[in-house]
C-alpha cells in the first residue's frame, strides 16, 4: 500500500537527519571527512517533492547538513563548506534526472542508466570540489584526500540510494521461492563472514557475485534491497572496526579517512554491478515478451492460412516449417516432412521444365537460386503430392539472411492454382473458338454487304429503265390508255418508286458500312435544310387528319456539313413520325440552338409525335439494320427498317448523337444533337 505523500516526505526528512548524524558520528574522530553522508536521501526527498517544490527543500538540506556535521564533531566553518557541497550536489542530481519534468525519473533503459551515472558522478565531483575548497580555506585536512573521500562517499550514496526512488523495470522474479530464500540466506550469512577477517580485503568482494545473481533473477526492488543489505553490513562492521576496510589505515600506514574511501568504493562497485544488470534483465524480459508475442502472432497467421502452403527450410533445404495449409495441399503431415529435403516435393521433370523456362541449369539448386529473385514472385511450378498427383502452385520463394548477410534458410509460400490454370486454358480455347466464329461472321457480313451492294447496283439500272418506260406509257407516247389501264400503270409506277427508294437506301447503307460515304463540307443555314426536308414529307399528311407543326429559330443557324445528307435525316425522322401517328394525332418539329449542352454549344433537332410508340425493350435495337418494331409489324405498316440506321450514321459522321424516348400508345421523341462547330 502506497503511503500518503506527506507521510513519505516526513519519513524521508527524519531519515535524512538521523542517518546524517550517524554517518558523521561513525566517521573516525581523527579523520577529516564525514563518512558516507546520506546525500542520496536528500536527492530522493527532492525527487519526491517534484521539480516545482524541490527548490524550497534546498535550504532545509543545507540546514540539516550543517547541523548534523557540526554536531558530529566537525568545525562550524567546515560544516558549512561540506553542507554547501551536499546542497549543490542535490540540486545537480535533481536537475539532471528530471530534465525539467514532473514525476519520478525512470531507470529502465540504457539512456536512463547514462543519466543516472552522470547525475551520481556529478554529485561526487561537486562534493570533491567543495571538500577541497573547504579544506584549503580552513586548513582542515589535506585538500586532495578530503576531495577524494567526499567525492567517493557522495557518489556511492547517490548510486546506492537513488534507484529506490526511481521508476524501475516492471518485471517479476524469475527465481523460484526456494531460490529466493537461498539468495537471502547467502547474503545475510556470507556478507558478515567475508567482512570479519581483517587481513584479506579481497574477501569482501565475494559478496558481489551474490548481488549479480540476485540482479539477474529477482525483482528489481528486491535486488536493490539485497545490495542495500550488503552495503549496510559493510558500513556497520567497518564502523565497529571489523573487516578489511577498518584495518587498512593501520596495516598500510594510511590516513583514517582511507577506510571511508574504500568503503565508498565498495558500495559504488555493488551499485555498478546490480543496477546495470537489473536494467538489462528488464530489457531482455520486455524484448523476449515482445518477441514471443510476435512469434505467437506469426504462428497463428501461419497456422490459420489453410489455403496457402507455407514451407520453411534451412540453408541446405531441409524442412523446418510445414504449416497446416501445406499439409492440406500436399498431403504430408508436418512430422513426415520435418528434416527432409524439400526436393521430394518436385519431380525431376518439373525441375527440368522450370529450368528451361527460366533459362538456367537443369538442377534443383540452380532453379531455387533463380526463383528466389524478386521478379519471379508468383511463378508457377508443379508440386508433387504424397498421393503421386502433380498440382500447379503459384510460388513465391524468399531468402532469409542473418545480420552478416549469410543465408540461413528459405520460406516458400504457394497456393494451388491447378483449377485456375485449367479453367484459363479452357477459356483461352473458348476465346480462340469465339474469335474464329466472330471472324467467320464478319466474313459473312462482308460477303452479305458485298452481295447487297452488287445486287442493288444490278437492280438499279433495270428499275430506272422500267420507270422511264412507265413514264412514256403514262404520258401517251405509245397510245392512249383507258382509265383502268392508267390506274394499273400508276400502281406499277408507285411500287417501282418504292423499290428504287429501297435500292438507294441499300446502296447508302453499304457505303456507310464500308466507311465509304463521302460527305461534302460546306456552310449553309440549317433552318433551310429542315424546312426543305419538312416540305418533302408534307404531301404525306396533306389528306390526313394530322396536326404537323414546324418551329424554326428567328436567327440563321450556320452549319458546316453535307446539306443533302442532313436533309435526308429530316425526311426520315419526320416521315416516320407521320407514318406511325394515327388520325387525329400530332407531329412537332423543333430546331433550336442550345448555349451549353453535353456536347458544348450545340444544335438540337426534336421530332415529337403522338403515335403508337416503341416498346422499351426494343429501343436498343431500333437503329439496327432491317429492324422493325413489333407494333409496326402487327399493324402492317410498310417499311424497310433501314431509315433509322442510315439516319444515325449520318448524324454520327457529323459529330452528333441521336436519342430516343418513347412510350407505347403515347408517342415518341427523336432528338438529334450536333456541335455548333461541326
The CATH number given to whatever domain includes residue 346 is 3.30.450.20
Q: Is residue 545 part of a domain?
A: yes
What is the Rg, in whole angstroms, of the alpha carbon atoms belonging to the chain? 54
Cα–Cα distance for residue pair 89/653, rounded to 1 Å:
96
Non-local (6+) Cβ contacts of 15 within 8 A are: 38, 41
Same domain? For 111 and 153 the reply is yes
Q: How far is CA 156 from the centre of its chain?
A: 51
Cα–Cα distance for residue pair 55/100, rounded to 1 Å:
12
Any idea what the CATH number is for the domain that residue 501 is in? 1.10.287
Q: What is the pLDDT of residue 1?
A: 45
Cα–Cα distance for residue pair 554/558, rounded to 1 Å:
12
Same domain? For 544 and 584 the reply is yes
Any idea what the CATH number is for the domain that residue 640 is in? 3.30.565.10
Please report which residue ranges of 72-138 form alpha helices under DSSP H.
76-98, 110-138
Same domain? For 16 and 110 the reply is yes
Q: Is residue 440 part of a domain?
A: no
Q: What angle do CA 246, 252, 257 make, to 5 degrees?
A: 50
Strands 586-597 and 547-551, bridge-based pairing: parallel
**DSSP, res 107:** -
Same domain? For 498 and 481 the reply is yes
Same domain? For 664 and 528 the reply is yes
Q: What is the pLDDT of residue 469?
A: 60
Q: For 198, list phi and psi in degrees, rounded to 5.
A: -95, -25
Cα–Cα distance for residue pair 166/568, rounded to 1 Å:
98
SS3 sequence, 525-563? EHHHHHHHHHHHHHHHHCCCCCEEEEECCCCCCEEEECH
Non-local (6+) Cβ contacts of 143 within 8 A are: 131, 132, 133, 135, 136
Q: Which residue, of 167, 194, 222, is where some domain finishes? A: 167
Any idea what the CATH number is for the domain that residue 68 is in? 1.10.1760
Q: For 199, list phi and psi in degrees, rounded to 5.
A: -95, -10
Strands 657-663 and 379-384, bridge-based pairing: unpaired
Q: Is residue 578 part of a domain?
A: yes
Same domain? For 180 and 295 the reply is yes
Q: Which three cell numbers stand for residue 429?
A: 480455347
Cα–Cα distance for residue pair 488/644, rounded to 1 Å:
32
Q: Is residue 79 part of a domain?
A: yes
Q: Which residue, of 272, 304, 336, is where some domain finishes? A: 304
Looking up cell 531468402 gives 399
- Provide the Cα torsion 475, 480, 484, 485; round to 10°: -70
Measured over the CA atoms of residue 327, residue 330, residue 332 and residue 336, the dihedral's sign is: negative
Q: Is residue 58 part of a domain?
A: yes
Cβ–Cβ under 8 Å, residues 163 and 224: yes
Cα–Cα distance for residue pair 302/196, rounded to 1 Å:
61
The domain total for the chain is 5
Helix, strand, coil content of the chain in percent (nearest 5) = 60, 15, 25
Cα–Cα distance for residue pair 126/326, rounded to 1 Å:
68
Cα–Cα distance list, 211 to 181, 186, 218, 220, 591 (Å): 14, 10, 10, 12, 104
> 134: number of CA atoms within 13 Å, CB side?
27
pTM comes to 0.53
Same domain? For 130 and 261 the reply is no
Q: What is the pLDDT of residue 607?
A: 93
DSSP helix/strand/coil, 400: strand
Report, as ranges of residue numbers, the positions in the chain whose pLDDT lies below 50.
1, 516
State which H helix or E strand residue 352 sits in.
helix 348-358
Cα–Cα distance list, 405 to 94, 256, 392, 399, 400 (Å): 45, 59, 32, 10, 9
Q: What is the pLDDT of residue 123?
A: 92
Q: Which three cell numbers stand for residue 589?
A: 418539329
Q: Is residue 428 part of a domain?
A: no
Q: Is residue 363 part of a domain?
A: yes
Q: What is the pLDDT of residue 143?
A: 92
Average pLDDT, the chain: 82
Cβ–Cβ under 8 Å, residues 196 and 242: yes
Same domain? For 33 and 176 the reply is no
Q: How many residues does the chain have?
A: 678
The closest of 279, 179, 267, 176 to 227, measured between CA atoms, is: 267
Same domain? For 216 and 364 the reply is no
Q: Is residue 426 part of a domain?
A: no
Q: What angle do CA 296, 298, 302 make, to 5 degrees?
A: 115
Same domain? For 585 and 649 the reply is yes
Going through 367-443 in order, the beta strands assigned E by DSSP cover 379-384, 390-401, 407-416
Q: Calculate helix-pair angle for 244-252, 220-239, nearest 10 degrees.
A: 40
Structural domain boundaries enclosing 461: 447-513
Q: What angle do CA 132, 136, 137 make, to 5 degrees?
A: 115
Sheet holding 657-663, edge to edge: 547-551, 586-597, 600-609, 667-675, 657-663
- Provide the Cα torsion 597, 599, 602, 607; round to 10°: -80
Same domain? For 182 and 134 the reply is no
Non-local (6+) Cβ contacts of 467 within 8 A are: 493, 496, 497, 500
Same domain? For 161 and 14 the reply is yes
Non-local (6+) Cβ contacts of 172 within 8 A are: 219
- Provide the Cα torsion 498, 501, 506, 510; round to 10°: 180
Amino acid at each position: 500500500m502506497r503511503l500518503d505523500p506527506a507521510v513519505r516526505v516526513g519519513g524521508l526528512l527524519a531519515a535524512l537527519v538521523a542517518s546524517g548524524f550517524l554517518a558523521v558520528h561513525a566517521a573516525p574522530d581523527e579523520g577529516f571527512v564525514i563518512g558516507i553522508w546520506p546525500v542520496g536521501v536528500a536527492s530522493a526527498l527532492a525527487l519526491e517533492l517534484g521539480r516545482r517544490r524541490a527548490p524550497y527543500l534546498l535550504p532545509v538540506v543545507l540546514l540539516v547538513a550543517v547541523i548534523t556535521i557540526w554536531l558530529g564533531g566537525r568545525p562550524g566553518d567546515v560544516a558549512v563548506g561540506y553542507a554547501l557541497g551536499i546542497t549543490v550536489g542535490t540540486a545537480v542530481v535533481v536537475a539532471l534526472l528530471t530534465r525539467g519534468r514532473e514525476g519520478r525519473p525512470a531507470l529502465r533503459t540504457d539512456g536512463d542508466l547514462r543519466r543516472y551515472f552522470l547525475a551520481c558522478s556529478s554529485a561526487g565531483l561537486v562534493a570533491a570540489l567543495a571538500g577541497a575548497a573547504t579544506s584549503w580555506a580552513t586548513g582542515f585536512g589535506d585538500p586532495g584526500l578530503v576531495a577524494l573521500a567526499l567525492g567517493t562517499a557522495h557518489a556511492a550514496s547517490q548510486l546506492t540510494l537513488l534507484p529506490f526512488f526511481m521508476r524501475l523495470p516492471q518485471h517479476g522474479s524469475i527465481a523460484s521461492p526456494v531460490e529466493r530464500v537461498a539468495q537471502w540466506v547467502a547474503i545475510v550469512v556470507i556478507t558478515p563472514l567475508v567482512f570479519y577477517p581483517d587481513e584479506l580485503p579481497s574477501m569482501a568482494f565475494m559478496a558481489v557475485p551474490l548481488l549479480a545473481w540476485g540482479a539477474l533473477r529477482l525483482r528489481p526492488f528486491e535486488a536493490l534491497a539485497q545490495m542495500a543489505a550488503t552495503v549496510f553490513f559493510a558500513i556497520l562492521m567497518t564502523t565497529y572496526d571489523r573487516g578489511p576496510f577498518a584495518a587498512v589505515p593501520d596495516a598500510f600506514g594510511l590516513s583514517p579517512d582511507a577506510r571511508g574511501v574504500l568503503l565508498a568504493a565498495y558500495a559504488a562497485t555493488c551499485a555498478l554491478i546490480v543496477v546495470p544488470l537489473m536494467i538489462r534483465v528488464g530489457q531482455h524480459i520486455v524484448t523476449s515478451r515482445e518477441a514471443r508475442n510476435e512469434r505467437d502472432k506469426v504462428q497463428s497467421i501461419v497456422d490459420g492460412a489453410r489455403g496457402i502452403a507455407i514451407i520453411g527450410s534451412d540453408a541446405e533445404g531441409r524442412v523446418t516449417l510445414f504449416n497446416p495449409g501445406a499439409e492440406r495441399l500436399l498431403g504430408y503431415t508436418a512430422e513426415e516432412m520435418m528434416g527432409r529435403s524439400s526436393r521430394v516435393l518436385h519431380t525431376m521433370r518439373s525441375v527440368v521444365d522450370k529450368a528451361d523456362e527460366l533459362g538456367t541449369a537443369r538442377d534443383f539448386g540452380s532453379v531455387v537460386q533463380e526463383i528466389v529473385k524478386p521478379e519471379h514472385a508468383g511463378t508457377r511450378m508443379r508440386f508433387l503430392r504424397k498421393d503421386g498427383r502433380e498440382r500447379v502452385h503459384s510460388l513465391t520463394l524468399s531468402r532469409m539472411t542473418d545480420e552478416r548477410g549469410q543465408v540461413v534458410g528459405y520460406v516458400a509460400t504457394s497456393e494451388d492454382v491447378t483449377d485456375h490454370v485449367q479453367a484459363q486454358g479452357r477459356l483461352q480455347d473458348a476465346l480462340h473458338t469465339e474469335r474464329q466464329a466472330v471472324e467467320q461472321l464478319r466474313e459473312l457480313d462482308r460477303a452479305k454487304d458485298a452481295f447487297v451492294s452488287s445486287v442493288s447496283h444490278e437492280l438499279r439500272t433495270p428499275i430506272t429503265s422500267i420507270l422511264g418506260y412507265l413514264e412514256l406509257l403514262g404520258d401517251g407516247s405509245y397510245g392512249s390508255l383507258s382509265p383502268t389501264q392508267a390506274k394499273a400503270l400508276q400502281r406499277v409506277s408507285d411500287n417501282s418508286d418504292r423499290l428504287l427508294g429501297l435500292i438507294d437506301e441499300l446502296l447508302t447503307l453499304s457505303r456507310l458500312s464500308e466507311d465509304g460515304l463521302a460527305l461534302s463540307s460546306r456552310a449553309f443555314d440549317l433552318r433551310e435544310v429542315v424546312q426543305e426536308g419538312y416540305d418533302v414529307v408534307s404531301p404525306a399528311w396533306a389528306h390526313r387528319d394530322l396536326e404537323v407543326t414546324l418551329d424554326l429559330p428567328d436567327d440563321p443557324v450556320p452549319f458546316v456539313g453535307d446539306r443533302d445528307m442532313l436533309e435526308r435525316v429530316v425526311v426520315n425522322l419526320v416521315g416516320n413520325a407521320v407514318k406511325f401517328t394515327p388520325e387525329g394525332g400530332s407531329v412537332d418539329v423543333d430546331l433550336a440552338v442550345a448555349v451549353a449542352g453535353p456536347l458544348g454549344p450545340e444544335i438540337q433537332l426534336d421530332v415529337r409525335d403522338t403515335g403508337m410508340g416503341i416498346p422499351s425493350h426494343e429501343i436498343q435495337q431500333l437503329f439496327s439494320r432491317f429492324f422493325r418494331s413489333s407494333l409496326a409489324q402487327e399493324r402492317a405498316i410498310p417499311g424497310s427498317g433501314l431509315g433509322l440506321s442510315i439516319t444515325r450514321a449520318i448524324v454520327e459522321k457529323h459529330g452528333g448523337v441521336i436519342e430516343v424516348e418513347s412510350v407505347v400508345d403515347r408517342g415518341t421523341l427523336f432528338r438529334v444533337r450536333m456541335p455548333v462547330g461541326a
